[in-house]
Structure 1
């Protein structure tokens, strides 16, 4: 671990202006981003007596090897730049609010020609309107009920294309849970109007629709159309069921997010109730580890940054009111920033009395219970992970902590379609964003050892190239000025991010799936590249032996060892990832299509034809002039396609693009 004194700036070097600072590790990766009203005061606090630092802050300053800063003109600019760099670099030591559970949202893809309603989780998508979050059971019931009144498309893109090609709707179209725009029952404009009504109802305009349906029901009764009146009566009951599911807690025109938190010295739990139209529409929770001695106002500021930074301006998801337990740091700048995201004023305030204060108390009680539950569940996980990493380090006699482990596996069938996988584990947890896949060809595909040598060589050659590129960039004259200029540009334009090197961060330990031959091949690849600070082991499947390079005997870990269990989990994950990639590649290679064999017709043009005509049968029936309407198809290629099918009258029916591995029809 680095000594903070080795990179501490000299007295007087740090300015007293407001700005943003970054700590980097020995490999150049940003591990912490922060902002300060006075850079000198804040940065000097990190180099004080280590005994006075919090455990995670102590780990951060000893993991870092350098610190740099950028001066900005105002606290609002520092807020914007800090948020931009946190999203770009994803520093491992920054405050990250992790959901205590995964909540689904009801979403409508309004950017599509035929909007689709569906249940979605994970990252927000541009052009999609979200409602919630809900519990898993409630959201399915809500969606099923509303489709009776607002029959918006809910099928996948594949089902939609098949219905359009066949001229027959899916089951939902037959049972009136979909208006079937795929077969022309309604126009795209009429279907979009249904989607807009769906959004309006979910956005709090329920009474308007219920009143409208009640009037229509009365008119139907007046004209003695009792069948239509009965359908409208059932629709009204369905809407009321959704509308009345949540109890009224505030005035009908109240749209607010109510945040509360409960914290101790090391962690804090946050809960938020989403109130729309005076009703609690959803609930969400986070748990955060404190990296430094952050105050409650600091936590609230970071919380609002992360919650609204990605999607605060996405179709009104940011409400008019944000109720918080304490006034956040830089409240004026934060309010101005949120107002810019929403496009209208946002009131960030602390409720003092009345119904909103009472609701805040309820949310705070939920946060208290959430922190207790989190500590109960996580205590065992943290202990086991730490024990596994420590046991592994001691058993292998390694001088460094195993902060990052990479595991490699090779997969093939009798030497064909050879592929390899790389999975990454940091702090005992998988980091799927850094998983990699490799295709192995040529002489390297001769056997497992050659493939392993090739894959390790390629992975660490990329690492050396990325490292060299960073070193050259840092050695250029005016490098710090360039960094500050780029940072200033990032303040003005937060929509762009500099490309990050994919292999710039090396592991402490490489695990290969195999025994002595595979381990020696991997060690030889590292030695050929001159890499000496990465350790290699192999895990043999037969007896779960751990092999070290150039060793005649394996290391035998006890069957109850948490270190062995960790290695097994990493190996199995690498095997799963490799097998998945291999099956994809093998299935693609075994796909047979009636369009194969047409001179000059590649994969992209074949897809363009199938997209345009809907199936191979449609392509076969088209004339040369009609074929040229597809993207990328010229007159000569169109004539070649016609000639191809004229020589085989059954080609479009006998070979409709079948995946021979699974027997599924792919393209018809």
Structure 2
């Protein structure tokens, strides 16, 4: 049985999302927290004035689960995804995706632009985000234009080169005026590549550069300029908390990670559908002493995806596994389309794998006893029946209630 008071003691003081279940195991509420420990406990404290709706909801809670994130911003986007997926009874529907803007780089154009976009569409552009702060996005785009002088106008280039005078952005050094032919397409593309490098999360160089400019302006007694750099520095720091929870590629994929402790292991799977993390599950495994993570993952994939009704086109793993090519071929045949097993080395995908690993480690350390009990009721029960019946290798059992056939 799920002991709520005991489980409350195990909650980590980290940001994340908590999920409340009722007696039928339906999801009835999803919420986010800066500290899971503090927030979830509040629901079960009788002294707090929670309001009629929450008071009623608490009476139906039979168990809860949680997903740890790296920041409250990530928790917010994940909360939105889960509410849209499960539509819990006691949740108020959050705002539409238009509240979460993207940064769009029109890489398909000869002279790409950087702009804010409210929706992500399949137009060959690169999208970064979504972000929860539109103001920070606008400040970052302004910063990009100041540092890299990338255009934001709607002129069709190179068709319109030389047709009109350069705009104000050229004169205030926020554009290199490709509309006048003042910069070659190759040089301009180099600047765009630096912008993409920055938007991919490589902030250290720019943060250092802004700090140096701020200090130089301050030493030169140019305090207004120093304040401007300080504000831009703050905006970049906000953007540095960019969401990892939503994948802008819009693809289906599973993120797998494993945590190991002696002869026990937990595999955590994040399910991403349509680019959104819509749920997760963890699986307790009894392993041989000394078994490697690669071997554990290989065994898990073969067992889990042999029975799951849907196989996504991508599985993201923390490391290479044995028989990778053979397993890929097997999964491809089961799916009917190409399936790839990928070990991401950098960027958002790698951070998602790291996040899955953190959750696996947390499950292994806090839920070990509960997982053992669950295993005892399932695998342990099968083994006990095998012993009683004198059988081995049972893979399927059927039970029939015959009380109505003879009295």
Give the TM-score category using the shorter length.
0.3 to 0.5
By relative contact order (CA 8 Å, sep 6+), the higher-ranking structure is 2
| TM-score, with length taken from structure 2 | 0.37
- Structure showing greater Rg: 1
